[in-house]
């Protein structure tokens, strides 16, 4: 549908206002992920300070020149009447979440439930709207820029958690509700380091495959918290007393998220950017199974359905190296995953979802502590 000239003029005026707001933003913060530096420009000090606290272990030397600028603008920025398309959600998820409107060389995005908006482009992308009230979405927007960079450098995107020890890393993937975050945090109790909670990037190089994480603190359910003494303080006492009486199956099915700050819970410098990829572990177990927990080697070429636990759409914020946004509903090619994972040991955890047993199996794949 062709936009009218008044709409075009109003949109151009808004985009110019966003550019001016970003370039004139008074509050700035450098963040470093995997050696790449992002300068965050905010027009609101409270947002800058909150981001500095959240990413406290990812603030590089202030003299390091940034590789990319990202704008975060708090305020009311009314958009003209545009035609928005709903972004298709993954199988098993319902409801409207993201909508988009493509422009030449860029994309506007809207969070349907919160009213946050984004101007996604290769250089100087901007988040604008009620940023203070939607801190998690602001954090995700910043991390989306780094995720696009990793993919444009040749990494595959994976729906996986990851841990490491002595630069040897495990990718932990699972079908919905499989407990990858729970297993990762259980391993951290043994001194293993944290790499990523829900998004992981794998890239093969001259010396082997390497995994790269995302600097997002884990968001975990009460089932994870109540099965790990180190996490118990995350639940308010009254809520904890209520949930402790729930049956196991009901507890694991509950969707109620809590932030788990790695530094506060496990100590500083336990959040690693990357590691060599030693193995992939697919959690194909069940909470209601009565079978013993087993770990067996598996070939992803022979059991490609297991890749469904690992494969992930780059999502509506991703733009390729040529500035083309990701197509609605498209998934990456299966062949890309098989190629990047060629020769990497892969294991399947099956039977009952027993995190102590899973921990022992996974520790055997890492250097001794």
pLDDT digits (tens, 9 = 90+) for 335-349: 999 999 999 999 999
Q: What are the DSSP calls for 127-195, one per residue?
A: EEES-GGGHHHHHHHHHHHHHHHHHHTTPEEESEEEEEETTEEEEEEESTTS-HHHHHHHHHTTTPEEE
Identify the residue with better confidence: 98 or 253: 98
Task: Give me the pLDDT at residue 288, please.
Answer: 86
- d(C-alpha 353, C-alpha 97), whole Å: 31
pLDDT tens per residue, range 169-192: 999 999 877 899 999 999 999 999
Task: Give me the pLDDT at residue 178, please.
Answer: 86
Mean pLDDT to the nearest integer, 287-309: 94
- d(C-alpha 198, C-alpha 214), whole Å: 8
Instruction: Give which of 121, 149, 162 is closest to 36, Cα–Cα.
Output: 149
pLDDT band at residue 279 using 50, 70 and 90 as cut-offs = very high
Q: Is 161 left (phi over 0), alpha (psi -120 to 50) or beta?
A: beta
- Dihedral of CA atoms 240, 246, 252, 255 in degrees, nearest 10, equals -60
pLDDT tens per residue, range 58-75: 999 767 899 999 999 999
> What single DSSP character describes residue 342?
T
pLDDT band at residue 1 using 50, 70 and 90 as cut-offs = very low
* pLDDT surpassing 90 at residue 246: yes
pLDDT tens per residue, range 101-133: 999 999 999 999 999 999 999 999 999 999 999
- Dihedral of CA atoms 159, 162, 167, 168 in degrees, nearest 10, equals -90
Task: Give me the pLDDT at residue 227, please.
Answer: 87
Task: Give me the pLDDT at residue 253, please.
Answer: 84
* pLDDT surpassing 80 at residue 21: yes
Q: Which of 87-91, 271-275, 311-315, 337-341 is predicted least confidently?
A: 87-91
Task: Give me the pLDDT at residue 92, please.
Answer: 57
**Is 1.10.287 the CATH classification of the domain at 156-218+260-363?**
no
- Percent with pLDDT over 90 in the chain: 87
- Please tell me whether residue 209 adopts helix, strand or coil conformation: strand
Structure tokens at 191: 């001194």
First to last CA, the chain: 61
pLDDT tens per residue, range 33-50: 999 999 999 999 999 999
Task: Give me the pLDDT at residue 177, please.
Answer: 76
Given a contact cutoff of 8 angstroms between Cβ atoms, the answer to whether 48 and 57 are in contact is no
pLDDT tens per residue, range 219-238: 999 989 998 999 999 999 99
* pLDDT surpassing 80 at residue 162: yes
> What are the boundaries of each domain within the chain?
5-152, 156-218+260-363
* pLDDT surpassing 70 at residue 89: yes
């Amino acid at each position: 549908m062709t936009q009218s000239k008044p709409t075009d003029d109003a949109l151009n005026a808004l985009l110019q206002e966003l550019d001016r707001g970003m370039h004139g933003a008074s509050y700035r913060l450098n963040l470093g992920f995997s050696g790449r530096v992002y300068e965050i420009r905010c027009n609101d000090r409270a947002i800058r300070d909150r981001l500095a606290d959240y990413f406290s272990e990812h603030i590089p030397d202030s003299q390091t020149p940034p590789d990319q600028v990202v704008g975060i603008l708090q305020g009311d920025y009314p958009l003209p009447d545009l035609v928005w398309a709903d972004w298709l959600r993954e199988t098993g998820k319902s409801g409207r979440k993201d909508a988009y409107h493509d422009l030449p060389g860029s994309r506007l995005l809207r969070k349907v439930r919160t009213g946050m908006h984004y101007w996604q482009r290769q250089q100087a992308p901007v988040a604008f709207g009620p940023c203070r009230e939607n801190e998690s979405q602001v954090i995700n927007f910043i991390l989306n820029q780094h995720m696009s960079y990793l993919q444009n450098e040749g990494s595959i995107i994976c729906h996986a958690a990851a841990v490491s020890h002595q630069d040897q890393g495990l990718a932990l993937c699972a079908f919905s509700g499989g407990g990858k975050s729970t297993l990762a945090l259980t391993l951290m109790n043994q001194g293993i380091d944290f790499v990523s909670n829900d998004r992981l990037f794998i890239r093969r190089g001259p010396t082997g495959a390497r995994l790269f994480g995302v600097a997002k603190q884990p968001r975990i359910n009460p089932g994870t918290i109540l099965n790990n003494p180190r996490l118990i303080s995350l639940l308010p006492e009254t809520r904890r007393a209520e949930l402790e009486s729930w049956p196991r199956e009901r507890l694991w099915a509950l969707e109620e998220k809590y932030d788990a700050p790695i530094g506060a819970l496990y100590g500083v410098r336990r959040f690693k950017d990357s590691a060599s990829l030693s193995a992939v572990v697919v959690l194909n177990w069940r909470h209601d199974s009565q079978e013993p927990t087993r770990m067996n080697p598996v070939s992803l070429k022979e059991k490609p359905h297991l890749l469904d636990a690992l494969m992930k759409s780059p999502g509506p914020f991703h733009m390729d190296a040529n500035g083309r946004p990701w197509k609605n509903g498209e998934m990456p090619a299966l062949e890309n995953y098989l190629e990047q994972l060629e020769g990497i040991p892969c294991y399947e955890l099956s039977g009952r979802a027993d995190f102590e047993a899973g921990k022992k199996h996974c520790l055997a794949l890492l250097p001794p502590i």
